[in-house]
Amino acid sequence: MARTPDPIPDQHGRRFVITGANGGLGAVVTRALAAAGATVIMACRDPEKGRAIADAAGGDITVAAVDLSDLKDVRRFAQSCGEFDVLINNAALMNVPFTRTADGFETQFGVNHLGHFALTGLLLDRIRDRVVSLSSISHGWTHALPLDDLRFERRRYSRSAAYAESKLATL
């Protein structure tokens, strides 16, 4: 059964920042909010893909580069933001091979949780309404966060475990 968004009330005068807006759910939300009159800032790792979506969607959309795997870039992006209404933490990586972020964290945990956690903290004084952080049912694939080894330094790397842990941390 296909699911379509319920009608979205008029969003004129409201500003949204959406991470990972250059694909998947982020692109769908961008289009729906722009069609309802919102101003949307697409926070994308790949601005070229973001621009193509923004151009096709029309509306008041801007594209801004941000790499959630680099906390220095997260800080740079946050410093460029003015006030807005809603932050939608949507970007995620899933089941990628083992790599580390610029700051030395396992990449899925670094992007899916830590990058958004840092971004939210840096923007809190500019968010007028709310923060929406997306997770998934995959948080149920793990029962606890291994706080003593979130970086996979002492345990065998598992793509699915790393993803599940990042989503549990988000919750």
At residue 75, φ and ψ (nearest 5 deg) are -60, -45
Contact 124, 110 (CB under 8 A): no
- Identify the residue whose tokens are 């694939």: 141
* Residue 64, burial from CB neighbour count under 10 angstroms (0-12, 13-18, 19+): middle
Distance CA 94, CA 17 (A): 22
Respond yes or no: is residue 163 known to be catalytic. yes
| Candidates 44, 67, 163, 164; catalytic one | 163
| Catalytic annotation, residues | 163
